[in-house]
Amino acid sequence: MAGLAVEKYRAQQIATWIFKHGATTFEEMTNLSKDLRQRLETKSWISKPDIKTRLQSKRGDTVKYLFVLSDGQLVESVLMRHDYGRSVCVSTQVGCRYGCRLCASGLGGLVRSLDAGEIYDQVLGIEKDIGERISSLVIMGSGEPLDNYRATLTFIKNIAAPYGLNIGYRHITISTCGLVPGIRRLAAEGLPLTLAVSLHAPNDSLRDQLVPINKKYPLSELITAGRDYVRETGRRITFEYALIAGVNDSAVHARELCGLLQDILCHVNLIPANPVVERGVKPPTKQQIELFKSILESNMLTTTVRREFGADINAACGQLRRRILPGTLKM
Positions in the binding site for ligand SF4 (CB under 6 A): 96, 98-100, 103, 105-106, 142-144, 177, 198, 322
State the minimum distance, in angstroms, from the CB of residue 114 to ligand SF4. Answer: 13
State the minimum distance, in angstroms, from the CB of residue 195 to ligand SF4. Answer: 14
Residue 165 CA to residue 151 CA, distance in Å, equals 17
Nearer to ligand SF4, 96 or 222 (CB): 96
State the minimum distance, in angstroms, from the CB of residue 76 to ligand SF4. Answer: 11
Annotated active-site residue 317? The verdict is yes
Annotated active-site residue 76? The verdict is yes
Nearer to ligand SF4, 77 or 288 (CB): 77
Residue 18 CA to residue 38 CA, distance in Å, equals 16
42-57 b/e with 16+ CB inside 10 Å = b? eeeebeebebeebbeb
Nearer to ligand SF4, 178 or 284 (CB): 178
State the minimum distance, in angstroms, from the CB of residue 10 to ligand SF4. Answer: 38
Catalytic residue among 7, 28, 76, 144: 76
CB 91 within 8 A of CB 75: yes
Catalytic residue among 89, 100, 266, 317: 317
Nearer to ligand SF4, 17 or 217 (CB): 217
List, by residue number, the catalytic residues: 76, 317
